[in-house]
Every structure is written in structure tokens, then in C-alpha cells.
């Protein structure tokens, strides 16, 4: 069953997560629990995918019994679970009014709208989808689905093609996208897109890529300090081929999988697009990007790019603590962390630096003096760190215990 529960009702949370007793789950599947309509549908949609065939069948039957008016009110409510909205969008017999409410509901996932745009036999629904230019820009797959649907009207096709020409065709360049972002209040993203060489260069980085990257920029030019880096000389010092960038992207994906296990396709797509930008743009994104962008770029083998992440004004103490423990990060990054007064006052950061075999030896020898006695003893037995660090930890441990 799904764990993507949005209801705050503990009963709903227990049923959807699968922690409730089977008797309670079966009662929910039969529609016998006193829940409001939105919560009932959230439970039923989750239970229809249960491994328990009897439970799934009961939930499906209860869903089929729901009245059209009930489905319509739930489809129109902004607080309705995205999981329920996706179900209603895919429900063939839901009817035009329900699907119309689904299309107009801003909480409906773009993926569900794209699926509906491609499968709906109602031309008016397809046309209603095509009217929402913001969705078309955010999720180009919706435009593809509209154009592939044989019931589309000429008006729907016209709107989709106009949006494509206006925002995604290369001859328009990045400037139009930046202007649209600025009009929506996405100033930081607009600043980045306007100056991104990787985007204006053409084939390797499209305007669609630009729109995706823009969603991960949160720091404006006025809030960054690039005095530590001669930006105008980056390309002179670090010249990379497209093949080298692609190889770097694959390495970052491999490292991410090694740490997090399965990686979502959307995440892989973001990594590929970020790592295919040139060095100068990756440095700028490192200083301006959100947490997700920083998590990608801190793994960049180019030390300047990884250093840019550390100079991002939005980086959190929790991120720095995690970076201090990473064994694939640049030694320059670890040295920079140790030299930062604020981070150097954090014991978890210092502890991670001392245990990290990537930490430069002089830095490790310095921070080890600040460890607690119990951590010194453990470090003295850690075969992953340099022998000099182990000896230093052992001496300090014996001294502090009076031996």
C-alpha cells in the first residue's frame, strides 16, 4: 500500500501505512468507518492496491459505489489527496464534470493531467487542459499528450503549439524564458538563466532543461559572495568536453545510488542536466541552488564547483555535517569546513572531519584535539584513518584518562 498519506487523521494514517489491524482495514475497505468523504476516498484508493486480494476487491467495490456528487465534491476540493485526484483522473467512468474539476484543481499532479490529456474521449476536457498554459510550460508531457489525442480540437492544438513556440523552441533563446520567470516572481532563477552560457550555447542544454533547473534556484545574485573565486577565469582553467561532463554525471549517479539505494528517474534527469552544464554555470548554481542542487554539486570532481556549494548562503548545518562525513568529497571542501568558525564550533562536524579519511592530515590532526575522550579511544582503533591520526588520538586518550 501507499505511504503517501496527506490526511492528519491518525486513523487514516494507520490504515494507509498498513499499521492498522486487518479488521480495521477491512472495515475501511467496505466503507464502514466514520470518515469524511475526502479521507474515505484516500483510504479506499490506498487499499485498492493492497496485497490482500479480498481487501483490494472490497475497496474497489466501495469506490464503484460512490455517488457522482460525492466524487465531484472531492475532485473540486483543494485539500484532496493528490493520490485521490490521480485516481479520479484515471477513472474512465467518472464523467465529464468530475474530470473537469480534476483539471481545474491546482493540486492535481501534472502526471495525472498528462495521462488524462492523452486518454480522454471528451474533446472539451482536452481543450480545458490546453488552456492552462502554466501547466503546459511546467510539464511538456501534457502538450505531447494533447497533440497525440485524436479527439483534440483545433483550438486545443493551437494553444499547445503556441505555448511550445513561445517557451520551448530554441530560436526563442533563453531570454524569453527568463522574462517569464521574472514575471512570475522567480527573480533568482531569471538571473541565472539570463547569464547561463550552457543554455545560450544551444544543443547540449535546451530551454526545457533551463526550466527544470530554474525550479532548483533559490538565491539571488545580491545574496551571494563570489569574491573567493575569479569567475572570469574559470573556463580558461577548466575546459571540459561534453563527454567528460557526461562521465561526471554518471559517476554522481553511481555515488548517489550507493548511498541512497534506488534513485528516482526525475532525480537522475536532474543530475544529468546539472552535470552537463559548463564549469562556470555549475559554480553559479552551486552558490545559488537549493538543497537538491547542492546535493548533486557537492559531489562534483571539480574542486571549484564543490567549493561553491560550501559558499552557498542557504546551506544548512545539517548539510555541512553530512558533507564532513562524505568520503567522495574534495579535500579542499573539508579544509574549508574546518576553517569556518561557525561550523568548527559544531561537535558533530568536528567529529565527522576527524573520522573522514579524506580530511587533509594537518586538518585532521588539528580537529582531533577537540574530541571527547570516548571518541578519541574509538578513533585510535579506526583503521580507516591515517596512522598519524590514530596515534594522536591514542596519545590524547591516554593523557585524558591519566594513563
CA–CA distance, 271 with 252 (Å, rounded to integer)? 8
Q: How far apart are CA 268 and CA 248, in angstroms?
A: 13
> Which pLDDT value is given to residue 174?
67
User: b/e for 323-333, b at 16 or more Cβ within 10 A?
Assistant: bbbbeebbeeb
Give pLDDT, residue 63.
Answer: 87
Question: How distant is the alpha carbon of residue 51 from its chain centre?
Answer: 29
pLDDT of residue 195: 83
Provide the pLDDT for residue 203. Answer: 45
Asked if 113 contacts 135 with a C-beta cutoff of 8 angstroms, the reply is yes
C-alpha cell at 207: 530551454
389 in Cβ contact with 365 (< 8 Å): yes
Secondary structure of the chain: what % helix, strand, coil (to 5)?
70, 0, 30
Residue-wise pLDDT tens digits, 188-247 = 988 988 888 776 655 456 667 778 888 899 999 899 988 887 665 555 456 677 788 888
- In the prediction, which pLDDT does 8 show? 75
Output b/e per residue, 364-390; b: 16+ Cβ within 10 A: bbbbbebbeeebbbebbeeeebeeebb
- Are 18 and 44 in contact, with CB atoms under 8 Å apart? no
**What is the per-residue pLDDT for 210?**
78
For residue 49, report the phi and psi dihedrals to the nearest 5 degrees.
-105, 15
Closest C-alpha to 109, from 209, 17, 4: 4
Sites in the chain below the pLDDT cut of 50:
171, 203, 236
Give the closest residue to 319 by CA, choosing from 327, 329, 310, 328: 310
Amino acid at each position: 500500500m501507499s505511504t503517501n498519506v496527506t490526511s492528519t487523521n491518525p486513523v487514516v494514517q494507520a490504515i494507509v501505512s498498513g499499521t492498522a489491524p486487518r479488521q480495521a482495514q477491512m472495515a475501511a475497505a467496505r466503507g464502514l468507518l466514520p470518515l469524511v468523504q475526502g479521507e474515505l476516498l484516500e483510504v479506499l484508493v490506498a487499499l485498492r492496491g493492497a496485497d490482500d486480494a479480498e481487501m483490494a476487491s472490497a475497496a474497489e467495490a466501495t469506490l464503484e459505489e460512490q455517488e457522482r456528487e460525492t466524487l465531484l465534491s472531492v475532485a473540486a476540493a483543494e485539500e484532496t489527496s493528490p493520490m485521490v485526484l490521480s485516481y479520479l483522473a484515471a477513472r474512465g467512468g467518472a464523467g465529464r464534470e468530475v474530470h473537469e474539476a480534476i483539471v481545474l484543481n491546482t493540486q492535481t499532479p501534472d502526471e495525472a493531467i498528462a495521462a488524462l490529456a492523452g486518454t480522454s474521449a471528451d474533446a472539451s476536457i482536452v481543450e480545458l487542459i490546453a488552456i492552462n498554459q502554466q501547466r503546459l510550460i511546467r510539464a511538456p508531457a501534457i502538450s505531447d499528450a494533447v497533440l497525440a489525442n485524436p479527439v483534440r480540437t483545433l483550438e486545443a492544438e493551437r494553444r499547445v503549439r503556441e505555448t511550445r513556440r513561445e517557451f520551448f523552441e530554441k530560436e526563442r533563446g533563453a531570454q524569453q524564458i527568463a522574462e517569464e520567470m521574472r514575471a512570475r516572481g522567480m527573480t533568482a532563477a531569471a538571473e541565472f538563466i539570463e547569464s547561463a552560457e550552457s543554455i545560450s550555447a544551444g544543443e547540449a542544454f535546451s530551454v526545457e532543461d533551463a526550466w527544470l533547473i530554474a525550479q532548483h534556484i533559490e538565491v539571488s545574485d545580491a545574496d551571494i559572495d563570489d569574491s573567493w573565486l575569479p569567475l572570469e577565469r574559470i573556463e580558461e582553467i577548466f575546459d571540459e568536453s561534453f563527454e567528460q561532463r557526461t562521465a561526471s554525471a554518471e559517476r554522481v549517479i553511481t555515488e548517489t545510488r550507493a548511498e541512497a539505494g534506488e534513485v528516482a528517474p526525475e532525480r537522475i534527469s536532474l543530475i544529468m542536466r546539472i552535470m552537463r552544464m559548463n564549469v562556470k554555470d555549475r559554480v553559479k548554481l552551486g552558490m545559488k541552488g537549493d538543497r537538491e542542487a547542492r546535493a548533486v554539486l557537492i559531489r562534483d570532481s571539480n574542486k571549484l564547483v564543490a567549493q561553491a556549494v560550501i559558499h552557498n548562503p542557504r546551506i544548512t548545518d545539517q548539510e555541512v555535517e553530512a558533507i564532513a562525513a562524505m568520503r567522495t568529497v574534495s579535500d579542499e571542501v573539508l579544509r574549508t569546513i574546518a576553517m569556518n568558525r561557525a561550523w568548527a564550533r559544531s561537535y558533530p562536524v568536528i567529529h565527522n572531519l576527524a573520522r573522514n579519511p579524506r580530511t587533509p592530515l594537518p586538518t585532521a590532526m588539528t580537529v582531533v584535539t577537540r574530541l571527547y575522550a570516548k571518541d578519541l579511544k574509538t578513533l585510535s582503533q579506526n583503521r580507516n584513518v591515517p596512522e598519524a591520526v590514530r596515534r594522536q588520538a591514542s596519545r590524547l586518550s591516554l593523557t585524558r584518562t591519566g594513563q
